[in-house]
Amino acid sequence: MDAVFLLLGASIDAGTALALASLGLLLNERAGVLNLGAEGIMLVAAIAGFATAFHTGSDVVAFFAGALAGAALAAAFGVLVIWLHTNQYATGLALSLFGAGFSAFVGIDYTQVKLSERTPFTLPGLQDIPALGPALFRHHYLVYLAVALAAAVSWFLFRTRAGLVLRAIGESPESAHALGYPVRRIRLAAVATGGALSGLAGAFISVVYTPLWVEGMIAGKGWIALALTTFATWRPWRVLLGAYLFGGVTMLQLHLQGEGVALPIQLLTLLPYLATIVVLVLISRDQKWIVVNMPASLGKPFSPRT
Amino acid sequence: MLDLEPRAEPSRAMTLLSPVFALIFTLLVCVSMFLWLGKDPWQGLELFFVEPLSSPRALAELSLKVVPLLLIGLGLALSFRTNVWNIGAEGQFILGAIGAGGVALLASERTSAWVVLALLLAGTAAGMLWGGLVAWCRDRFNANEILVSLMLVYIAEQLLSYLVHGPWKDPQGFNFPQTITFATPTEIPRLFTGSRANAGMLVAALAVPLVWLYLFRTHGGFRLQLSGLAPHAARYAGFSARRSLWTACLISGGLAGLAGALEVSGPLGQLTTHVPVGYGFAAIIVAFVGRLHPAGVVAASVLMSLLTIGGELCQSRMGLPKSLTAVFQGLLLIALLACDTLIHNRLKLVRTARAPAR
């Protein structure tokens, strides 16, 4: 039984980065912009955060650095696709390729660097509950922030006027434009926010979760975060749940390796990627379900002239 | 203030000039980066654009990079024209290498030289299998092909790693994750003595006109392009979108697999975990910089190979990280996409007195 709770706790840790990034991507997809650059953004933010943590010794500054790097890259992406109407798929891909190269380039001096040991953040009182305490209440504070963020995004999207406008822009930018909303600026803000959260996720991975810098260390988590928004049919709480499930798959894999299960290690390593395909297949199988839930203008350019 | 005004018709001049502008921009960034790093920019540029072209030996090395980029880039150009976003060519390349490696393991020193052909066919088939999986997930289950093809890259990497760590490991290899060095007959013939350039170049050279003919001179190619440009019109004309999807995935997967097989029977000669070096991803840039046109893809694959070799030279001569190449290649694509705006729009000066358009 203890092992199950241990696994639960570890899954929540592993899923947090996915949740942060995916909630951000959810916001910009709800506004109609698909950012395939998430992987590149997370890589650049990971090295930005790691280097900042190393030089300043402050995690908080490092998280801000990661979020800022992510927001800056996403804003550049946003200007290209929103104002210059470049193809969203191609531009996002370009950002991912650039991010992979750029992070490796600037990170070369940090590959041998270690950060100091971190003390886990705990909730006094609650952490002493047997079994559940260690599983749920002994995490880094960003883990709780991710839960709060899911609540905040859900509230913002479905309970505020600004959220309604954002969703309207994602469904029909033409109508929102006709009503006088600055569609392009709102989209840019959504994309930058998505980038900031992806960046925070990247910094979380390099500063807290691993904590070290290795070239290409995001290892597809940006792409999995993108898949998660579809998996969750663009709903914040489902994103969080999906992120923990994927965290669970990642952890299960490590656990099985640790237990010495007689399966080749490669078979276990590919589990999260295989799970992503399986989940995509299962979710997308019912086309109507996707069409009904997907923001109608997702991936399509909008020009106020036409 | 500068504003964009839509052109009545796409500009043909800009279609061709845009890659040039993008290259100039990338070079400017390149020069400023060298200056910033305290390196001589002229020496840097020489390593990128002069040295790789300066001797027959250097040209042969260049050809070894051009062949995989060209083959994969051709397939991706075709796929992107069909509006099928297969971005997992790297995985299909790995499968091609695995397929070819499997055949090569069966060969001995006495095997006929025709085994090379079997090798290439096996690689192509394996690449098609991986590409076909993407088409199947999209066709049967409506799963997004971008994410599926990308996830299959990671799975292919693990599959290769499993094989070279496990069943295919060289028993005399001091436990290194690698297969035996394949028997001599599996080596693709070289074109000149004393040079590493091989017949793979001829295969790639043959693929260019074939893809061109298919895309622009056959009914099948027309169907593909129409379903990419105007899916509704294609459906109205009775063209099957499913068929276009499968064709695009199988051809692009097959070409990537062929590229992987050529690597195995050419420069590599064995399988290791270092088979994937990013050709599949770089080829995405090749396809776009080459305007999704076979002739353009040729030029773009040469340019991208120059950047790759230049990056390697910068590492050995100037002590710069090899990832410099990826930075420039990524910048090139971003700059290109930005410049492409000018194909459909022209820049116009707008007086700031008027309220700027939102």
The pLDDT of A160-175, averaged and rounded, is 96
What integer pLDDT is reported at residue A223 of this predicted model? 96
d(CA A118, CA B324): 33
List, in order, residues 6 or more apart from B330 with CB less than 8 Å away.
Answer: A40, A94, A95, A97, A98, A99, A100, A101, A102, B285
pLDDT (tens digit per residue) in B207-248: 999 999 999 999 999 999 999 888 889 989 888 889 999 999
What integer pLDDT is reported at residue B334 of this predicted model? 95
What integer pLDDT is reported at residue A97 of this predicted model? 94
Q: How many residues does chain B have?
A: 358
- Chain B, 11 to 30: residues with Cβ < 8 Å from chain A are none
Domain boundaries, chain B: 63-291
Instruction: Say whether pLDDT at A113 is over 90.
Output: no
A4 has a chain B CB within 8 A of its CB: no
Least confident of A301-305, B88-92, B155-159, B309-313: A301-305
Q: How many of the other CB atoms lie within 10 Å of CB of B61?
A: 19
Q: Which of B275, B356, B340 is nearest to B22 (CA)?
A: B340
> How does residue B64 score in pLDDT terms, banded at 50, 70 and 90?
very high
What integer pLDDT is reported at residue B217 of this predicted model? 95
d(CA A158, CA A166): 10
What integer pLDDT is reported at residue A118 of this predicted model? 67
d(CA B57, CA B60): 5
Instruction: Tell me the two tokens of residue B88.
Output: 């997992």
What integer pLDDT is reported at residue A306 of this predicted model? 56
Instruction: Say whether pLDDT at B332 is over 70.
Output: yes
Q: What is the dihedral of CA B244, B249, B255, B261, to 10 degrees?
A: -150
The partner residue sitting opposite A102, judged by closest CB among B144, B154, B327, is B327
d(CA A95, CA A78): 11
B358 has a chain A CB within 8 A of its CB: yes
DSSP B178: B
What integer pLDDT is reported at residue A57 of this predicted model? 87
Instruction: Say whether pLDDT at A30 is over 60.
Output: yes
pLDDT (tens digit per residue) in A224-272: 999 999 999 999 999 999 999 999 998 888 788 777 777 888 888 899 9
Cα A27 off chain centre by: 11
- Chain B, 255 to 284: residues with Cβ < 8 Å from chain A are 281, 284
> How does residue B351 score in pLDDT terms, banded at 50, 70 and 90?
low
- Percent share of chain B, pLDDT over 70: 97
What integer pLDDT is reported at residue A2 of this predicted model? 73
**ipTM of the complex in this document:** 0.92
Q: State which H helix or E strand residue B348 sits in.
A: strand B345-349
- pLDDT: which is higher, B206 or B354: B206
Q: What b/e sequence results for B284-305 when a residue is b if at least 16 CB atoms lie within 10 Å of its CB, and e otherwise?
A: bbbbbbbbbbbebbbebbbbbb
> How does residue A137 score in pLDDT terms, banded at 50, 70 and 90?
confident
- Percent share of chain A, pLDDT over 70: 96
pLDDT (tens digit per residue) in B6-41: 888 888 888 888 999 999 999 999 899 889 888 889
Output phi, psi for B69, to 5 deg.
-65, -40
pLDDT (tens digit per residue) in A75-102: 999 999 999 989 999 999 999 999 999 9
What integer pLDDT is reported at residue B355 of this predicted model? 52
In a domain, A302, yes or no: no
The pLDDT of A17-42, averaged and rounded, is 96
B288 has a chain A CB within 8 A of its CB: yes
B162 has a chain A CB within 8 A of its CB: yes
What integer pLDDT is reported at residue A134 of this predicted model? 72
Residue A265 maps to which CATH number?
Answer: 1.10.3470
- Percent share of chain A, pLDDT over 90: 67
Residues A42 and A100: beta-carbon distance below 8 Å:
no
Q: How many of the other CB atoms lie within 10 Å of CB of B38?
A: 6
What integer pLDDT is reported at residue B6 of this predicted model? 83
The partner residue sitting opposite A80, judged by closest CB among B141, B161, B337, is B337
What integer pLDDT is reported at residue B195 of this predicted model? 83
Q: How many domains does chain A have?
A: 1
Average pLDDT, chain B: 92
Contacts of A102 in chain B (CB under 8 A): 323, 326-327, 330
What integer pLDDT is reported at residue B8 of this predicted model? 84
Please state whether the predicted TM-score (pTM) of the whole model is above 0.90. Answer: yes
What integer pLDDT is reported at residue B251 of this predicted model? 98
- Search chain A and give the residue with CA nearest B331: A98
B237 has a chain A CB within 8 A of its CB: no
The pLDDT of B73-80, averaged and rounded, is 97
pLDDT (tens digit per residue) in B78-112: 999 999 999 999 999 999 999 999 999 999 999 99
What integer pLDDT is reported at residue B174 of this predicted model? 87
3-state helix, strand, coil in chain B (%, to 5): 70, 5, 25
Residues B261 and B120: beta-carbon distance below 8 Å:
yes
Contacts of A188 in chain B (CB under 8 A): none
d(CA B176, CA B169): 8
Instruction: Tell me the two tokens of residue A295.
Output: 């923001």
d(CA A69, CA A47): 10
Output phi, psi for B348, to 5 deg.
-135, 140
SS3 A128: helix
In a domain, A237, yes or no: yes
d(CA A297, CA A177): 13
d(CA B94, CA B101): 10
What integer pLDDT is reported at residue A200 of this predicted model? 97
What integer pLDDT is reported at residue B296 of this predicted model? 95
CA distance B226 to chain A (A): 18
SS3 A118: coil
- Search chain A and give the residue with CA nearest B347: A84
CA distance B163 to chain A (A): 9
DSSP B139: H
SS3 A41: helix
Cross-chain Cβ contact B333/A94 below 8 Å: yes
| Distances A27 to A193, A205, A234, B211, B234 between C-alpha atoms, Å | 8, 21, 9, 41, 34
SS3 B5: strand
Q: Which domain holds residue A207?
A: 2-115+122-293
What integer pLDDT is reported at residue A117 of this predicted model? 67
In a domain, A111, yes or no: yes
Cross-chain Cβ contact A97/B326 below 8 Å: yes
| Distances B54 to B6, B41, B65 between C-alpha atoms, Å | 44, 19, 16
Average pLDDT, chain A: 90
- Chain A, 248 to 267: residues with Cβ < 8 Å from chain B are 264, 266-267
